[in-house]
Amino acid sequence: MHAAKTYRLRNYRVTPDETALPSYQAVCVSGEEADCGADSTDQPDEEALTRWMAEHTRDTGHDRFKRA
Ligand SMILES: [Zn+2]
């Protein structure tokens, strides 16, 4: 009996992960003691995300966001 296992390398293709779409999401990290945590959720595009941040800044004065 062979103790060693035989490994056969197979050709495989790396396929693009089509679920890995660019993410347009930001979380507000402004706040005095704790992050605000407001979450834009997924936006369809950069413009929508920018609009969300502008509205949040207008409503709350928060202006620090972390891109998710
Ligand atoms: Zn906020």
- Report the pLDDT value the prediction gives residue 49, as an integer from 0 to 100: 96
Element at 48 (helix H, strand E) = helix 46-60
15-47 confidence digits (pLDDT tens)? 666 566 678 999 999 998 899 999 999 999 999
Q: How close is the Cα of 55 to the center of ligand 1, in Å?
A: 10
Q: How close is the Cα of 1 to the center of ligand 1, in Å?
A: 66
- Report the pLDDT value the prediction gives residue 23, as an integer from 0 to 100: 83
Q: How close is the Cα of 10 to the center of ligand 1, in Å?
A: 50
3-16 confidence digits (pLDDT tens)? 677 767 666 666 66
Angle at 22 between CA 67 and CA 56, to 5 degrees: 35
Answer yes or no: are the C-beta atoms of 56 and 38 closer than 8 Å: yes
Q: Spell out where the chain has E strands.
A: 26-28, 65-67
Answer yes or no: are the C-beta atoms of 49 and 25 closer than 8 Å: yes
Write down the residue that tokens 């993410």 correspond to.
Answer: 23
- Looking at per-residue confidence, does 64 or 5 come out higher? 64
